[in-house]
Amino acid sequence: MAGLQTVISYGAVRVVVPGNFPIGCFPIYLTRFKTNKSTAYDEHKCLKDLNKLSKFHNEQLRQAIRELKKEFPNVVITYGYYYKAFEWLYENADYLGFDTSTKQKACCGSGGDYNFSLTRRCGAPDVPVCQNPDQRWDGIHLTQEAYKHMTAWLVDDLLPKLHCGS
């Protein structure tokens, strides 16, 4: 939270602190921590324990924000629900134009169940890219199209909390 305190000391009066994604849904982690234990996965085929870790991190972050709000009562500090925004994106992928049959496969990758390799990542020589990245995810980060939809969700959620006025 030292970074946030620094930003406030520079004069910021409205600050968004982003939470973490459900990392157990990303090809990099699905590849690295793949298991044959069906109980390790949730209804979306994401790794439950990694998503629990993200939720724990996010709760700790929200607690720190509550403390900072006491220290800086004249600053609007709000939490960016990246986890919820990603869940919305994931659950509405078909409606938003994503190829749901490959939503856990990286667009730019090199095989395996999730089209992701820790040793042959996107951008490396001879690593293929899918035909239509606007309908897919990436292995470590979301694609531009996915971030566009997530950003729309976040803006709708955050604007009223920032008290910007019109």
Task: Give the CATH number for residue 129.
Answer: 3.40.50.1110
- Answer yes or no: is pLDDT of 74 > 90: yes
Angstrom distance (rounded) from CA 87 to CA 3: 27
- Answer yes or no: is pLDDT of 165 > 70: no
Range of the domain at 48: 2-162
- Number of domains the chain is built from: 1
Angstrom distance (rounded) from CA 50 to CA 30: 10
**pTM for the model:** 0.89
Lowest mean pLDDT among 27-36, 38-47, 123-132, 155-164: 123-132
Q: What is the pLDDT of residue 166?
A: 52
Angstrom distance (rounded) from CA 26 to CA 129: 17
Spatial CA neighbour of 27 closest among 5, 6, 47, 55: 47
- Answer yes or no: is pLDDT of 94 > 80: yes
In tens, the pLDDT along 5-24 reads 999 999 999 999 999 999 99
Q: What is the pLDDT of residue 141?
A: 84
- Answer yes or no: is pLDDT of 154 > 70: yes
